[in-house]
Every structure is written in structure tokens, then in C-alpha cells.
A and B are shown apart, each in its own frame.
Chain A
Amino acid sequence: MKKLFFILLMLPLYVSAAENEYIIVIQNHQFQPTEIIVPAAKKIKLLIENKDATPEEFESYSLNREKIIGANSAIKIYLGPLAPGRYPFFGEFNKATAQGVIIAQ
């Protein structure tokens, strides 16, 4: 049991050894940039920084992700490995303005 726990603990280190990082900034309820091109078939790490004074929720149906980003704070989120294609995402709390897309190729 102890050994298994240890292996589980170490697992993230192996898996995330080589990762691609991308930064997205939220300001005035908009994502910047709105379009991000990432390599397909690789694990991706998104760093999302919310510069607004209100919380936002990063959400994407096609990526199957949702995560709250508090006011004036930053989070990271892991994606993939993705098949080539377009993956729209949006800010659930401000859907009218907060829209973007990740393109895996």
C-alpha cells in the first residue's frame, strides 16, 4: 500500500516531464490572445491570469474542462494530448465577451 502510494505520488513527475506552456490573460472579460495554436498529441499547460476584479470560470465543452479563476489571480490547467482540431473555450460568467479557441495542429 505504501509503495503504491509512493508510485502515485511520483506519477505526476514522470507524466509532466516535458510540457508546453501557454499564457492567457483575462481583462475586461475578454481573453488575450483569443486564438492559441498548440501542437497536437502533446500535453499542454495553460496559465490563465485574471486581471479583472470579478471571478471567471474557464470552460470548454470540447476540451471537457472547467475551472474557476478568482478575481486578480491566476490558475493553471492541463490539457490533452489533443487530436488535431479546433477547441473553443469561453468564460462562463461572461460568455458574451469572453470567447476563444485553441487550435491543435
Chain B
Amino acid sequence: MFATSIIVFREVLEAAIIIGILAAATRGVPRHHYWIVAGLMLGLIGSAAVAASTKLIANFADGVGQELFNAMVLGIAVLMLAWHNIWMSSHGAQLASDARSLATTITEGRSECSILLLVVGLAVLREGSETVLFLYGIVASGASGTQAMLLGGILGALAGIIVGYIIYAGLLSIPLRWFFMVTSLLVLLLAAGMASSAAHFLIQADLIPSLATPLWDSSATISENSVLGMLLHGLIGYEARPAGMQVMVYILTLSVISLGMKLTAKDR
């Protein structure tokens, strides 16, 4: 039961961190909760569909369909987060301080809503489909203790959601003056971590070179298996044994988005 909790916790945690940060980062965007819930629903439906077509996806592209699919989902999320951050760097502060009077930002806020819907949906889709497969395996095997394992899964999911909520509530309590700096930094790191994961899948599919496997090994200091390791993985894309290519992609993503933010902030 405990093992089940941990597996489900890990999957749910990653999605919960993304949703927690985004829910906070888009405060001031009209009806943002509505879009998050819609993304959540679409993601859940999608994850069941993805789980059901595991074989189909796996056999696609000469056996590396799973990696391509994951890399694509992550790639879209990275683009969306980059867009969000660059847009927010010019409009965010206005939006939070005086949302109602700014009719123009509200219409522009619509693109922000589709970003929310997509990123939340994709995060749930990716993490959710693995959870669905795992839980399906438990039920299908019909082994004894199925109920205890499912209960463990529910507890793990709850724990993940609680962490996501704590992140959300914690971010909202940050004074407005620091708020946008903190949330855009978090979104930036989130995007870089996802880009690194996407690179990881492409390496696993042998589509891009790994350039050192691994570049370093910090598993003795912070194991990916520890709660701290899981949190850091979800927050900033921490990996104990990253490939050189992943680190390169991480830094590149950080630089490109930061540059975009700097340029739009100047235009204001």
C-alpha cells in the first residue's frame, strides 16, 4: 500500500506543482480558476485515452513513439510557459493591481486563458496516463490486497494535491511587489526543467546525442527518490544524473525565455 502511495504521489506531485504555480501566477486573469478546472478535466479524459492507446503510441515511429509523444507534450508546454512569462513581463503587474478597469488587458487575457487550459491539461495528461496504467495494472491483476493498494493510491494523490495547494497558497501570500518576480522565476525554472525532460526523452529515443551520460552524479547528496529530490524535480527539473545535452537544453531555455522577458519589459 505504501509503495502504491509513493508511485501515485510522485506522478500527482509533478502535475500539482505545475498547477499550483500557474494558478498563482495567473491571479488577476479573469476566471482563471474556471480555465484551470477545464484543463484538469480535459487532462483526465486525455490521460485515460492515452493510457488506453499505450500500445498504439509505443509502436508508432519504429518503437520510440512514447518518447516522441512525451517530448512533444513537454515541448508544447515549454512554449506556452515561455509565452506566458514573456506576456506577463509586460502586462502582469497591471493585471494584478487593477484588473477590472483594464479592458484591453482583459481581452488580451484570453490568450492567457488558453495557455492555462493547455499547460494544465498537458501536465495532467502526461502524469495522469501513467497513474491510470499503474492503477489499471493493480485492478487487472486481481491480486489480494487490491483495495489496500487503491487506497494507498488515493492517499498518495491527496498528498500530492496538498503539496500543490501549499505552493499555491504560499505564493499568494507573497507581497505584490515581489510576487511577479517570484512567480515568473518559478515558471521560468519550470519551463527549463520541462525542456530538459523533453531532451531526456529524445536521448532515450536515440534521436539526439546525450553528450556525456551522466554529466554529474549527485544521487548521494540528493536522491531523486527522496521527497526533497521529487520536489526539486517538479519545481526546477532537478535530476541526480542528467545527460550533458539535458543541461545544455536547460541553460538554453533559461537564456532564451529570460531574453524574451527582458526585451518585452523594455517595450512597456
Contact = CB atoms under 8 A, between A and B. Distances in A.
Given A15-B209, A54-B136, A57-B130, A77 B204 contact: yes
Contacts of A54: 136-137, 140-141
B32 interface: no
Contacts, number: 84
Nearest to A94: B137
B134 A73 contact: no
B242 interface: yes
Q: How large is the interface on B (under 10, 10 to 19, 20 to 34, 35 or more residues)?
A: 35 or more
Given A61-B225, A68-B130, A93-B137, A80 B213 contact: yes
Most chain B beta-carbon neighbours within 10 Å: one of A56, A64, A70, A74: A64
A20 interface: no
Q: Is the interface of B mostly helix, strand, loop or mixed?
A: helix
B241 A68 contact: no
Most buried by B among A43, A45, A70, A71: A70
Contact of B58 (A57, A61, A68, A94): A68
Contact of B204 (A67, A70, A73): A67
Contacts of A93: 7, 133-134, 137-138
Contacts of B7: 92-93
A41 to B, nearest CB: 10
Contacts of B84: none
Q: Which of B63, B219, B224 has the most CB of A within 10 A?
A: B63
B205 to A, nearest CB: 7
A33 interface: no
**Residue among B136, B137, B225 with max Cβ neighbours from chain A (10 Å):** B137
A75 B58 contact: yes
B54 A68 contact: yes
A39 interface: no
Contacts of B200: 64
Interface string A24-64: 00000000000000000001010000000111110001101
Interface in B116-159: 130, 133-134, 136-138, 140-141
Interface of A is mostly: mixed
Contact of A61 (B54, B63, B206, B240): B240
Interface in B31-76: 54-55, 58-59, 63-64, 66-67
Interface string B169-182: 00000000000000
Contacts of A8: 208
Contacts of A4: none
Given A11-B207, A67-B66, A70-B54, A61 B219 contact: yes
B239 interface: yes
A84 interface: no
Nearest to A73: B55
B242 A64 contact: yes
Given A61-B225, A92-B7, 18 more contacts: A8-B208, A54-B140, A55-B54, A55-B137, A61-B241, A62-B241, A64-B200, A64-B243, A68-B54, A68-B66, A68-B133, A70-B55, A71-B140, A73-B54, A81-B213, A93-B133, A93-B137, A96-B3
Q: Which 6 A-B pairs have the closest CB atoms?
A: A54-B137, A78-B206, A70-B54, A70-B55, A76-B63, A55-B133
